[in-house]
């Protein structure tokens, strides 16, 4: 693109810029579109790993449809459920300002769409650009019900990095060689950990290293010299992943629909729920190169899927004869599954591109101990197959969250219905202890409850999420619905306010919607409670979510219509 010098005189130039800004804002406003989609939740036979399984899909697609919009656009998505399970859909990372009814987690903001039912999700993208995604938020249907949500800048607004020649969504997933819902049911009955997956996938395909899979391996074609933007999404149900492209340097330019300072790396670590945008240049000799992903696993002595999924990056300029001769595809060197140093260095390297408006004066200073637990059984039982006659559990501040079954938390709050939840979630652990040390076994068993924590509209919030060593230390990718937050600090061991707070990055911290707790460590986030409604906060490892690693924030209405939750839609599903 050629740029010409239009006007030399400074005051005329400033006037032109001002007029351009006004015109651009008017154009971007008038160009906002409404996108209509019909999603049909249905069963579909899919063959993977030599076997055909009936899985739950959207419109028969796996992964599901890619949604492409611009900042400021609205979406209207009519969702019809003809599958055999209750279902909801969550638009992961979308702020849903004053509109919790479109957020989607079952029994939190809505009752599920029952078989034969229909619900239309209506929402607007507001001041967000980048890669998000959507997925089922009911039981383990997320294993196969997911897709990309790509948000482009408004018309006339460029990317703050080199314009790519092409953009490629890369959706990392997890595959079971049986019905994932059956895997969940078995774990819920036995109280033990669920069976691990049999494969990872890239855009729905396991890749060359799995049986009966090489013919269907995902292939991405590029031309020599191109700049390529990969929009990477971790849709895996239970696993953090390392990802790399053989012989190609990556530059991170965005995470969770927020730009970052360009950050060069050879590998990324991406937790379930997170998205990462990376650029690379197709500057290698024309050949074929593997993209690959494998596990980053931090739970000690726990089983995990120790396999590697691949896709092929193929240079279009490679001749057919050369392609036939190059049976070898170069594989990137991925870190070891327990390489916490590499994972930590990657996460710590992320920064916002400029100064962020981080709250300095904190109204709500919260400390959440997050981790696993065990429920003791009085007698040996087929339902107590956890360690030493127990059932696995998980909790935040010793409260293991129980999802309602008769009404959603948001509906109960809006309608003034009593008995669905209590507003007494503890702001700190009921008992302080050495969180990452040798924890007394008396503290291993949580209490059950459907508890929320109330926030006044506009209050400034800091949360320190502290991992515990109960059962095992672990990286817990924590997702906050309805908000983006600044990640101001992280470290290992127990958080110490006097020592650690002065080290916080209050200038250019990364902005995210999902962040992992370092295993045996802590992470601190800050945000302004400027979105009224009920918003779930939970671990995005779904095995931990069903064990109770969740809580809700209830953000009260502010002043006026703009700070008040909109009325529920007439077609909101009934329980």
372/330 same-domain check: no
110/229 same-domain check: no
Mark which of 109, 126, 157 sits at the end of a domain.
157
Closest listed residue to residue 484, CA positions, set 343, 279, 274? 274
Residue 574 lies in a domain: no
How much is the pTM?
0.93
- Per-residue pLDDT tens over the stretch 347-400: 999 999 999 999 999 999 999 999 999 999 988 899 999 999 999 999 999 999
252/281 same-domain check: yes
Which of 6-20, 309-323, 484-498, 524-538 is predicted least confidently?
Answer: 6-20
339/210 same-domain check: yes
Q: Give the pLDDT of residue 318.
A: 61
Residue 27 lies in a domain: no
Q: If pLDDT is split at 50, 70 and 90, which confidence band does 327 have? A: low
141/282 same-domain check: no
Residue 144 lies in a domain: yes
Mean pLDDT of the chain: 93
Is 228:250 a contact under the CB 8 Å cutoff?
no
Average pLDDT, integer, range 552-560: 97
Write out the residue range of the structural domain in which residue 317 sits.
Answer: 161-351
Residue 219 lies in a domain: yes
At 123, which CATH number?
2.60.40.420
199/153 same-domain check: no
User: Into how many domains does the chain fold?
Assistant: 3
CA distance 288 to 328: 8
Q: What is the DSSP string of 54-99?
A: EEEEETTBSS-PPEEEETT-EEEEEEEE-SSS-B-EEEET---TT-
Is 251:263 a contact under the CB 8 Å cutoff?
yes
- Per-residue pLDDT tens over the stretch 211-249: 999 999 999 999 999 999 999 999 999 999 999 999 999
155-162: long-range contacts, CB 8 A cutoff, minimum separation 24: 155/27, 155/28, 155/31, 155/70, 156/24, 156/27, 156/28, 157/24, 157/28, 157/71, 159/253, 160/253, 160/259, 160/353, 161/251, 161/253, 161/262, 161/279, 162/227, 162/279
- Per-residue pLDDT tens over the stretch 430-458: 999 999 999 999 999 999 999 999 999 99
- Per-residue pLDDT tens over the stretch 34-47: 999 999 999 999 99
CA distance 250 to 228: 10
Burial 257-278 (b: 16+ CB within 10 A, else e): bbbbebbebbbbbbbbbbbbbb
CA distance 144 to 241: 18
432/413 same-domain check: yes
| Backbone region of residue 413 per phi and psi (left: phi > 0; alpha: psi in -120 to 50; beta: other values) | alpha
Residue 239 lies in a domain: yes
Which of 26-35, 281-290, 311-320: highest mean pLDDT? Answer: 281-290
Structure-token pair, residue 508: 């250019």
Q: Please report, for residues 350, 454, 467, 512, the alpha-carbon distance to residue 337 in angstroms, rounded to integers and kept in the order given.
A: 21, 39, 19, 24
Closest listed residue to residue 198, CA positions, set 152, 228, 236? 236
220/149 same-domain check: no
Structure-token pair, residue 536: 């779930």
**E strand or H helix at 321:** helix 320-325
Q: If pLDDT is split at 50, 70 and 90, which confidence band does 31 have? A: confident
Q: If pLDDT is split at 50, 70 and 90, which confidence band does 189 have? A: very high
Average pLDDT, integer, range 197-208: 98
pLDDT above 70 coverage of the chain, percent? 93
């Amino acid at each position: 693109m050629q740029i010409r010098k239009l006007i030399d005189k400074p005051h005329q130039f400033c006037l032109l810029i001002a007029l351009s800004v006004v015109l651009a804002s008017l154009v971007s406003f008038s160009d906002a579109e409404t996108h209509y989609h019909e999603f049909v939740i249905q069963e579909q036979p899919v063959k993977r790993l030599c076997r055909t399984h009936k899985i739950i899909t959207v419109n028969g697609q796996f992964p599901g449809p890619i949604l492409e919009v611009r900042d400021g656009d609205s979406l209207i998505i009519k969702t019809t459920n003809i599958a055999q399970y209750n279902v909801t859909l969550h638009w992961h990372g979308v702020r849903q300002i004053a509109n919790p009814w479109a957020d989607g987690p079952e029994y939190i903001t809505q009752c599920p769409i029952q078989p034969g039912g229909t619900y239309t999700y209506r929402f607007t993208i507001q001041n967000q650009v980048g890669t998000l995604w959507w997925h089922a938020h009911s039981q383990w249907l997320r294993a196969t019900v997911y897709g990309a949500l790509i948000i482009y800048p408004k018309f006339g607004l460029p990317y703050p990095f080199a314009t790519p020649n092409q953009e490629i969504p890369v959706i990392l997933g997890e595959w079971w060689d049986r019905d994932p819902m059956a895997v969940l049911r078995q774990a819920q009955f036995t109280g033990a950990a669920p069976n691990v997956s049999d494969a990872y996938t890239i855009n729905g395909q396991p890749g060359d290293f799995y049986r009966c899979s090489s013919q269907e391996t995902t292939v991405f074609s590029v031309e020599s010299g191109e700049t390529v933007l990969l929009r990477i999404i971790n849709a895996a149900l239970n696993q953090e992943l390392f990802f790399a492209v053989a012989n190609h340097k990556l530059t991170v330019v965005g995470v969770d629909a927020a730009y970052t300072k360009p950050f060069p790396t050879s590998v990324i670590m991406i937790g379930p729920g997170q998205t990462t945008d990376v650029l690379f240049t197709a500057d290698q000799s024309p050949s074929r190169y593997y993209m690959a992903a494998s596990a980053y696993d931090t739970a000690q002595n726990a089983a995990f899927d120790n396999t590697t999924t691949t896709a092929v990056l193929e240079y279009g300029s490679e001749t057919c004869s050369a392609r036939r001769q190059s049976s070898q595809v170069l594989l990137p060197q991925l870190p070891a599954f327990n390489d916490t140093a590499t994972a930590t260095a990657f996460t710590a390297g992320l920064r916002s591109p400029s100064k962020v408006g981080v709250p300095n004066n904190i109204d709500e200073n919260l400390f959440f101990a997050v981790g696993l637990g065990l429920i003791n059984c009085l007698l040996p039982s087929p339902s107590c197959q956890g360690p030493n006659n127990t059932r696995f559990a998980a909790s935040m501040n010793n409260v293991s969250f129980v999802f309602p079954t008769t009404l959603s938390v948001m509906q109960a709050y809006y309608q003034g219905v009593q008995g669905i939840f209590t507003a007494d979630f503890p702001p700190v652990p009921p008992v302080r202890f050495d969180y990452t040390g040798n924890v007394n076994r008396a503290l291993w068993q949580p209490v059950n409850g459907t508890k929320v924590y109330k926030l006044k509209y506009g209050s400034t919030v800091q949360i320190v999420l502290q991992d515990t060593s109960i059962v095992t230390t672990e990286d817990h990718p924590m997702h906050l619905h309805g908000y983006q937050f600044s990640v101001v600090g992280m470290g290992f061991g127990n958080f110490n306010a006097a020592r650690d707070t002065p080290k916080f990055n209050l200038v250019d911290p990364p902005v995210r919607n999902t962040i992992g707790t370092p295993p045996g460590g802590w992470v601190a986030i800050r945000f302004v409670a400027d979105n009224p409604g009920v918003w779930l906060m939970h671990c995005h490892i779904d095995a931990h979510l069903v064990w109770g690693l969740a809580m809700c924030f209830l953000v009260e209405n502010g002043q006026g219509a703009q700070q008040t939750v909109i009325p529920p839609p007439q077609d909101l599903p009934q329980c």
